[in-house]
């Protein structure tokens, strides 16, 4: 009788130990799966975020300090870069306006395009001009879609800022625009013509 009781107790003990082991293994498996799931989701979110390029900016914003540092100075018209797909007579296709070697002064408190000697329509002298970024393209494709220009020197991942110059007393923009490429090169835009500018002084 005692032997049978001991046998039953031993069997119950073994069953209890096995049950505890199985539950423990199951919990470990669940935790591992949860950890794996969390890791996978995090990686997928990071991949998705890094794959998305910066969005096109359209609006009005003041120049940032880095763009100001690059943009201000005296610039000389170096060469014709090209035209937009659609151009008017004022763009003087295919040679562009006669402004090579003319100069433009761009300072924080003074702007002068009076150096564009052959074109009174583009000659402005502005005290305390208003400089604004009106568009930022973060790649070549966005630039072409919005400006319809295929210009040499603009590459796939370049950042291109369109800068508008306005008379601060009236708020009206002038027909002399600029494109800043990577805060490294400056392009003058007149009508549908684009010219490369070279810095003369800071």
Q: Kindly report, residue by residue over 136-152, the tens digit of the pLDDT.
A: 999 999 999 999 998 98
Alpha-carbon distance of 61 to 52, in angstroms, equals 23
User: Mean of the pLDDT values across residues 162-187?
Assistant: 97
Alpha-carbon distance of 131 to 62, in angstroms, equals 7
User: 124, 174 in Cβ contact below 8 A?
Assistant: yes
42-51, 60-69, 112-121, 168-177: lowest mean pLDDT where?
42-51
User: 134, 146 in Cβ contact below 8 A?
Assistant: no
């Amino acid at each position: 009788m005692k032997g049978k009781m001991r046998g039953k107790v031993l069997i119950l003990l073994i069953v209890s130990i096995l049950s505890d082991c199985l539950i423990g293994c199951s919990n470990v498996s669940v935790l591992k799966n949860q950890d794996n799931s969390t890791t996978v989701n995090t990686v997928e979110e990071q991949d998705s975020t890094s794959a998305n390029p910066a969005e096109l900016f359209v609006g009005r914003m003041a120049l940032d300090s880095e763009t100001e540092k690059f943009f201000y100075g005296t610039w000389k018209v170096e060469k014709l870069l090209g035209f937009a797909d659609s151009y008017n007579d004022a763009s003087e296709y295919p040679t562009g306006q006669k402004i090579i070697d003319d100069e433009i002064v761009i300072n924080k408190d003074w702007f002068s395009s009076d150096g564009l000697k052959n074109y009174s329509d583009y000659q402005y002298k502005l005290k305390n001009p208003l400089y604004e970024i009106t568009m930022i393209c973060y790649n070549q494709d966005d630039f072409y879609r919005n400006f319809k220009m295929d210009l040499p020197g603009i590459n796939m991942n370049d950042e291109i800022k369109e800068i508008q110059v306005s008379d601060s007393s009236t708020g009206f923009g002038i027909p002399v625009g600029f494109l800043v490429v990577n805060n490294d090169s400056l392009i003058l835009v007149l009508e549908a013509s684009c010219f490369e500018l070279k810095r003369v002084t800071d």
